[in-house]
Structure 1
Amino acid sequence: MSNTKFEKLEGNRVKLTMTISKEQFEKAMDAAFNDVVKDVQMEGFRKGHVPRPIFEKKYGKESLYNDAIDKVLPDAYRDALEEHDVLPVAYPQINIEKFEPENEIIITAEVAVKPEVALGNYKGLKVEKLDIVASKEDIEAEIDKLKERFAEMVVKDAKGKVEDGDTAVIDFEGFKDGVAFEGGKGENYPLTIGSGSFIPGFEEQLIGAKAGDAVEVKVTFPEQYQAADLAGQDVVFNVTVHEVKHRVLPELSDDFVEELDMENVKTLEDLQAYAKEQAETAKQSEADSHLRNEVLRLATEGTKVDIPEEMVDAQVDHMIQDFERQLSMQGMQLAQYLEMTGSDEAAVREQMRPDAANQILTSLTLEAIAEAEGIAVTDEDVNAEMQKMSEMYGIEIDELKKMLPNLDGMKQDLVIQKAIDFLIDNVK
C-alpha cells in the first residue's frame, strides 16, 4: 500500500496525494516489462525472451515508465479512496508531482466526491390526490380509441374544406426570392394537418382550402434548419390541393362489437364495462404517477446540496447513451437525428443539463432519506425482485443470478424505491 494524504478542496472536491516507493515502482516496472517483452524480438534471442538488461540497454528504462505508471496507479488510487473513505462521482484529474524512480514518485488525484445533503421537510407531505372514478366522458374516450382502430379515410366532396386532423393530398413547390430551391417540391403528397410533418406554420395555412384550390403558403425556415442556405429564410410555397380526406369512425353498434372480436366483450353492455375498466386503470396509473411526482417534488424542494458539475456531466453522459439506444431502436443514429433537427451534440447536452441536475438532486435526496430512516434492503426484497424479473423476462432465477453476479445496482434501486414508498405512505 502506498503512503497517502487527504486534502479537502472547495466545491465537493478532494485531493489525494499518493507516494509510490522505489520498491513499489520497481515491481510495476517488472510487470510492465513482462507485458512488453512478449512482442519483442532481437537478434540472438527468441521472441519474448529478451533479458531485461539487454532490453533496457537498447530501448532505455524510460520506455517502460508509462506502462509502469499504468500498472501502479490504479491500485494506489483505490487504496487512497478506501483509506480516506472517499466516494468519487467522476474520473480523477491525475498529476505526477514528482518522478524520481530511484527514490519515490508522488502522484496527486483531484476528484469530485458525493456531496453532503441537508434534508428539508419530507414527512407528512400534503398532496392532493386525483380522482380515479371514470366519468361518462372518460368511458366514451376509451370507446373512441377502439373506434379509431376501425376508422376509414373518406374523401370529402368538392365543397369539403380542410380541417385540423384531415389529410390533404397536395402538390407543392417552394421558392426563395422567386427561385425554386432544391428539395422543396412534391407531388400527390398526403399531408395530415396537425402532424407537424412540415415547417411550422405550413399546415395551418391549408385549413379552409378545398379540393382544386391553389394556396400560397408563406413560412420561415427554423434558424437551426439543416440546409444552411435556407436556415432562417422566408420562402413561399405554391400549393395545389387535389383532394381532402377525413377520418370517419364506425357507429357504436352490435356489428361494431362483433368486429372488435374481443374476448369477454360480446355486447354493447360488455363494451361499456370494458371501457370503464380501462378508463379507471388509466386514471389510477395517472393518480399514482401524480402522487409519486408530487412527493418527489416536495421532498426535494427543501434539500440543500452543492452538486459538483462533474456529477451533472456524468449524468448527461448516461442520458445521451439512453437517447442513442432509443434512436437505434427506431433505426436512427444520433448523427442522423442531429442533422435532421439542425442541432449538434453540444446543444443537446446543454438542453439535458437541467433534467440531469434534477435527477441527481432527487437521487441524493432519496438516498439521504433512506439513511435517515434506516431504510435497508433485505434478502427477501432481492429475492422478490429476482422473482419479478424472472417472470417478466421468462428467465430462470438461477440464470438471472449468473447474468447479475453483482447485485449492488439492484439493491441501490430497491433502496430508492423503498424511500419513495416511505414518502407516499406518510402523505397527509
Structure 2
Amino acid sequence: MQVKETQNEGLKRSYQFTLPAADLAAQVETKLKEAQPEIEMKGFRKGKVPMAMLKKQFGPRVMGDAMQEAIDSALRDHMEKSGDRPALQPKVEMVGGESWKEGDDLVVDVTYEALPAIPEPDLSGVELERLVVEPSEEQVTEALENLAKNAQSFEDRKKGTKSKDGDQLVIDFKGSVDGELFEGGSAEDYPLVLGSNSFIPGFEAQLVGAKAGDEVKIEVKFPEDYGHPGLAGKDAVFETTVKAVKAPKPAELDDELAKKFGADSLDALKAQIRERLRAEYEGASRQVLKRALLDKLDDLVKFELPESLVEAEADQIAHQLYHEEHPDDHGHNHGEIEPTDEHKKLAERRVRLGLLLAEIGQKAEITVSDQEMTQAVLRQARQYPGQERAFFEFIQQNPQAQQQLRAPIFEDKVVDHIVEGAKVSDKTVSKEDLEKAIEALDNV
C-alpha cells in the first residue's frame, strides 16, 4: 500500500492510499486458495473445484472482503507509524466509486482530525476549598417530623364536621362521560387525601367542605394530554358519596416510629437520618469542589481542539437545551437546531476538559472496574421498573451505551485523583450557604 499525504494543517489530516491491482488480485487468490479445500460444487469433488470457477462464483464477494481488509490494515499501520489518534472515526472514500472495476488499482482518500498533543499540567499548585456542613439537631428533627408525617394515620372527625385540605375522605364514586360509565371510573370505599392531587385537576377541590353522608356531583374535564385517548379532553361527571371524613394524626416520635423505618430505636433512627443528611451535604459539596477544580484546569491548560468534536458537542448541547425549554416536544421533528456562540463556547470547555482528564487518567493508569460498571448498570436499571432485563441486554449489546455509563465514572475517579494531590482546605458553612453555592453552579 502506497501512502501520500495530501493535507497536514493544524489537526486536519488527509492521505491517499493506493493498493496496486496486482497486490489486490494476489490477496483474492490467497483467500480463494485457503477456502478451496472446503468448497463443494455440483460436478466436482470437495476441494477439487477449479480456481477459475471459484473466481467466477465467489470472486466479487472475496474481492470486497479483500478491499476492506486492505483498507483497515493500511489505516492501522498508518496510525502506528504516525502516532496519530483520530478524534472521530476517519472518513474513507473510494476514488472512482462505482466506476472502479477489477484490474484497477484501489485508491482511497482518508481524512480525519488528530487528537492534539496535550501538555502536562502542573497540578502541584492547585488549591481548593471544600465546604463542610454538619447536620444540626434542628435539621435532624425536621427530617424526623417529615417521616412521622408520612407515617401518619387518620381518625374520624366529629359527625357533621366539614372536610378541609389534608383530611382523608372515604368515598364511593361513579364516573361518566356523555352519560355513559367508563372503565376504571368507579370505586367504593376509596381513601382520598384532599390536597394530594392524586385525582384529575378540580376533583379534590370540589370535596373541600363536604361532610360525611353528603352526595356530591363533581364536574371536571380530563386534561388534553391524559393517558387514556378515549378520555383526553372530555367532560366528566362523578357521582360521589362521602362516607367518612378523617383528620390526619401524625405518628408519635418514638421507638415504634423508628421500627416502621427499620431502626431499633428512635436514637438509632436519628443517627441514620444524621448520616443520610451528612452524605447529602457531602455530595453537594463535592459538586462545588469539582466545578472549582474544572474551572482551575480550564484556565491552567490551553491547546488546539478538534473542530469535529467541538461541533458535535455544540450540537448536542443545543439539542438538549431545546428539549429542556420545550418539555412537551418529545420527538425529533423540530428541524435542525443551530448552536449559538454560547453553545460553542461551552462545547470548547467540555471538549478541552474531557481530553485533559482523559490524558491525566491514562497517565495515572486509572480504569473503571467491572464491579463499578455493574453497579452503574444496576443504578440505571432501577429507572426502568419491570424492564430491567431488557435494559441489561441493551447495555450488553450496545458499546456506545456502555461508554456513556463508563465515562462519568472515569471522570469522577480522575477528579478524585487530582483532589488527592491538591491542597484542599475545609470550610465549615451553613446548609443555606451550601445551597447558594449549588444554585450558583446552575447559573454559570
Matched, 1:7 2:4: no
Amino acid across the alignment from 1:283: Y
Are the equivalent residues in 2 in contact too, given 1:166–1:193 (CA < 8 A)?
A: yes
Matched, 1:163 2:165: yes
**Partners of 2:42 and 2:48 in 1: CA distance:** 11
**Partners of 1:181 and 1:80 in 2: CA distance:** 73
CA distance 1:147–1:298, shift in 2 (3 Å): farther
**Partners of 2:77 and 2:296 in 1: CA distance:** 39
Are the equivalent residues in 2 in contact too, given 1:134–1:280 (CA < 8 A)?
A: yes
Are the equivalent residues in 2 in contact too, given 1:37–1:50 (CA < 8 A)?
A: yes
Match in the other structure for 2:217: 214
CA distance 1:147–1:228, shift in 2 (3 Å): closer
Are the equivalent residues in 2 in contact too, given 1:166–1:245 (CA < 8 A)?
A: yes
3-state SS of 2:332 partner: helix
Q: Percent identity?
A: 16
Are the equivalent residues in 2 in contact too, given 1:174–1:181 (CA < 8 A)?
A: yes
3-state SS of 1:346 partner: coil
Give the total of aligned pairs: 370
2:60 to 52, 59, 62: 62
Match in the other structure for 2:145: 144
3-state SS of 1:69 partner: helix
3-state SS of 1:215 partner: strand
Question: Aligned-pair distance for 1:105?
Answer: 0.7
**Partners of 2:235 and 2:142 in 1: CA distance:** 39
Question: Aligned-pair distance for 1:365?
Answer: 0.8
Normalising by structure 1, we get a TM-score of 0.60
Structure 2 unaligned spans of 5+: 321-326, 377-405, 428-444
Are the equivalent residues in 1 in contact too, given 2:118–2:356 (CA < 8 A)?
A: yes
3-state SS of 2:72 partner: helix
Matched, 1:80 2:78: yes
3-state SS of 1:134 partner: coil
Match in the other structure for 1:365: 353
Question: Aligned-pair distance for 1:138?
Answer: 1.2
Question: Aligned-pair distance for 1:343?
Answer: 6.6
**Partners of 1:69 and 1:166 in 2: CA distance:** 75
**Partners of 2:13 and 2:155 in 1: CA distance:** 69
Match in the other structure for 1:251: 252
Match in the other structure for 2:389: none
3-state SS of 1:140 partner: helix
Amino acid across the alignment from 1:97: V
Are the equivalent residues in 2 in contact too, given 1:95–1:107 (CA < 8 A)?
A: yes
Match in the other structure for 1:338: none
Alignment of 1:211-250 (within 5 A): 212=214, 213-218=216-221, 220-222=223-225, 233=233, 235-239=234-238, 240=240, 242=242, 248-250=249-251
Question: Aligned-pair distance for 1:106?
Answer: 0.8
Alignment root-mean-square deviation, CA = 5.6
Matched, 1:346 2:347: no
3-state SS of 1:81 partner: helix
CA distance 1:195–1:45, shift in 2 (3 Å): farther
**Partners of 1:65 and 1:71 in 2: CA distance:** 10
Are the equivalent residues in 2 in contact too, given 1:167–1:192 (CA < 8 A)?
A: yes
Question: Aligned-pair distance for 1:144?
Answer: 3.3
**Partners of 1:348 and 1:309 in 2: CA distance:** 19
Match in the other structure for 1:50: 49
**Partners of 1:194 and 1:376 in 2: CA distance:** 54
Match in the other structure for 1:20: 19
Amino acid across the alignment from 2:219: E
Match in the other structure for 1:104: 105
**Partners of 1:83 and 1:291 in 2: CA distance:** 41
**Partners of 1:348 and 1:194 in 2: CA distance:** 37
Question: Aligned-pair distance for 1:139?
Answer: 0.7
Question: Aligned-pair distance for 1:132?
Answer: 0.8
